[in-house]
Chain A
Amino acid sequence: MQSISALLIILGILFMFLAISQVRRLFHLLEGKIFNSWKVLFWLILLFTLSYVVALILVFLDQTQYIVPLVGFVFMGGAFFVFLVIKTSLTSSQRLIEINSSKKYLDDIFRTMGDMLIVTDKNLKIQTVNATTCQRLGCVESKLINKSAKDVFDFEELKPNTLFESRFRTKDGKGLPVLVSVNLLEGINGNIYVIVAQDITQQKENEEKLKLYLDRIERKNDELNQFAYIVSHDLKAPLRGINSLAEWIEEDLGEVSDEVQNYLRLLRGRVLRMENLINGILDYSRIGRKKLPIEEVNVNELIHEVLDSLSIPENFTVKMLGEPLTLNTEKILLQQIFSNLISNAVKYHHKEKGNIEIGWTSENENHQFFVADDGPGIAPEYHEKVFGIFQTLEARDTFESTGIGLSIIKKILEEKQQSIRLESEVDKGARFIFTWPN
């Protein structure tokens, strides 16, 4: 009887040692609440193992009368142990359910997301793809697993936390333009690449369309300029011919009636007007076609030059307001703008004395220049129109004005991506304000 008992207890101790080694393995996997529970269980197991050893000793020493209290202790401990194990199991199961539903949640996202998702190992071998990837590439999941990412799309190297454009190799050969983002994560068995690719077919198409529009606009612009140039150029020749012929006729005729003299004078006047008109068209067409020289321009000096060349009549007072300013810019253009604005201010003035103010302020990106007069002003409803080509508010006869000046100014400024605006009301003078780059 004693030897059977001893044998059974020894087997018990063996199982306890096995249990202890398993628990130690368990410890590596666990954390948190469950870990703490198992720590307690571990100590209980140690305690039991100790009691088994004690029981074995008692059996050998034949002091079996002390085994009874020991057995009582072991029964109680055992029940407590079972209770703890079941409680821990419960917690574990709950955790498992949470994890499973989390997993399902992620799986659903993974499955239904509209972008393509590819997960590869550190050697770029594909481990997982989502449904969208298979659909877009046009092949089943099994065909993609274990293939290299390089088989699926083009790239030099996958740098983590990068965003770049690429093309997916689709089954039908057409290719799919994509925007790819790459992330490097630590996985269970080493690093993994998480690749998310977004279909940018629409964006690419829009880019193409935009390029086309820009191209057509540029070509139309070139066409317009070329057309204006050719027309004005081809019209000048016969015009010169007409002028010369009229001159010769006049010379050859000598003494003629007043009427004929008048006709000749009018004829040459019209020829001159046509010439001005055509030159204006030529100027208009030249803007933006030639590269003009850039020089250092002292704005004060420039405006004085312009005033001199325009021969401002004595009844005009010109005031200049602005800090001394020197720019590196196309002098000719700035000169044309001031020349046009100031000559307009003089030409359209209606009173005995005239006042013209020219000034500027400087901001960070550009300068604001203005030319203001106290002339008849322009009604607000015409403020846009005055910049139209050939627009004049008075009949062209009255002022020998070709009506091109303001449209030239506008075109010059548009080419430089600047702007001009007009502040004016009838009888309240006019102020033209334009910007010029720094």
Chain B
Amino acid sequence: MSEQEYYKQKLIEKNQEFEDFVYIISHDVKAPLRAISNLSQWIEEDLGEDVTEEVQINLSLLKNRVKRMEMMMNALTEISRIKRTNLNIRELESRKAIEEIWEDLNVPATYQLELNGDFPAFQTLSQKLKTVLFHLIENAVKFQKRTDALVRVSCDELKTHFQFTVEDNGVGIDEKLTDKVFSIFFTMDSKEELNSIGAGLTLCKKILDFVGGEILLYSKENEGTKIVFTWPKEIDTKKNY
């Protein structure tokens, strides 16, 4: 085997190791977690109404922690399955998809969505693109303090890719932290918060790595956030990225 072949093989093995690792963590840690969740449920049921407020609070906190860990595990599972699920190439009308996401997010009436540019309708891994758009728009809406929240989604056509931009006028991120945002479990919210596990952007980045696109984030504290990502016009699912 030539040297090149050998290292190519090693790279494939390394990639596989990573996936196996993520899968195993999410899978093997889930079992005891499920057990803990069930047990805490049964304890609560068995104790009934006759417990002090303190115990009640602690029980609820415990359930909260467990739920959070479960959500973390689910996020890891989703990340580990990127290469194995939702691999169907289907027609996607991106404008319509974005509008549907906006509706599903059920935002306050004062929030606005602006769409700029030509949004393509094309054959692609539509489920995955929808996932990416969902998480980005969800973040834009979540990290928002203003009532006149504005989320602007635009699209440009490049030679081999479509370039999507999701901008918001939300709370933004300290410039010093912008390169950490794609790390797993990194979130600006407190770790008590069940709403953000900090896996959304990680998932987006991993999906884009898989399909052959790129993602960049620009932000300043209190000056909103802009995320730009490219999605290939044609996807070769056989290539091992």
Contacts and interface: CB of A to CB of B under 8 A. Distances in A.
Given A213-B4, A238-B69, A230 B185 contact: yes
Nearest to B9: A213
Contact of A234 (B14, B47, B72): B72
A389 B72 contact: no
Interface residues of B, number: 45
Nearest to B5: A213
Interface of B: 3-4, 7-8, 10-11, 14-15, 17-18, 20-22, 24-25, 28-29, 32-33, 35-36, 39-40, 42-43, 46-47, 51-52, 54-55, 58-59, 61-62, 65-66, 68-69, 72, 76, 183-185, 191
Contact of B43 (A206, A228, A230, A267): A267
Given A227-B22, A234-B72, A267 B17 contact: no
Given A224-B21, A246-B62, A239 B69 contact: yes
Q: In the A-B complex, list the 6 residue pairs whose CB atoms are closest, starting with the nearest.
A: A213-B7, A270-B32, A245-B62, A267-B39, A220-B14, A234-B185
Given A213-B4, A264-B43, A249 B69 contact: no
Contacts, number: 123
Contacts of B8: 213
A224 B17 contact: yes
B20 A389 contact: yes
Contact of A252 (B3, B58, B66, B68): B58
Interface string A220-239: 11011011101100110111
30 contacts: A210-B3, A210-B4, A213-B8, A214-B7, A217-B10, A217-B14, A227-B184, A228-B25, A230-B183, A231-B76, A231-B184, A231-B185, A234-B184, A238-B68, A238-B69, A239-B69, A241-B61, A242-B36, A242-B66, A249-B43, A249-B55, A249-B58, A252-B52, A252-B55, A260-B43, A263-B39, A270-B32, A270-B36, A271-B36, A390-B24
* Chain B facing A: main interface SS: helix
A270 B39 contact: yes
Nearest to B198: A234
A104 interface: no
B55 A253 contact: yes
Contacts of B24: 389-390
Given A237-B191, A245-B62, A278 B29 contact: yes
B35 A266 contact: yes
Contact of A270 (B20, B35, B68): B35
A40 B210 CA distance: 91
A388 B11 CA distance: 18
Contact of A242 (B3, B25, B54, B62): B62
Contacts of A65: none
Contacts of B21: 224, 227-228, 389
Contacts of A278: 29
Contacts of B185: 230-231, 234
A260 B47 contact: yes
B65 A220 contact: no
A277 B32 contact: yes
Interface string A244-257: 01101100110011
Contacts of B14: 217, 220-221, 224
A216 interface: yes
Given A239-B69, A267-B35, 6 more contacts: A214-B7, A224-B18, A230-B185, A242-B66, A253-B47, A270-B35
Contacts of A367: none
A150 to B, nearest CB: 35
Contacts of B183: 226, 230
Contacts of B15: 220
A389 B23 CA distance: 11
Contact of B58 (A210, A248, A274, A281): A248
A227 B23 CA distance: 13
Contact of A245 (B51, B58, B191): B58
A204 interface: no
Most buried by B among A226, A237, A245, A273: A245
A304 interface: no
A217 B59 CA distance: 46
A82 B163 CA distance: 96
Contacts of A39: none
Nearest to B40: A267
Contact of A277 (B28, B42, B54): B28
Nearest to B39: A267
B27 to A, nearest CB: 9
A213 B24 CA distance: 26
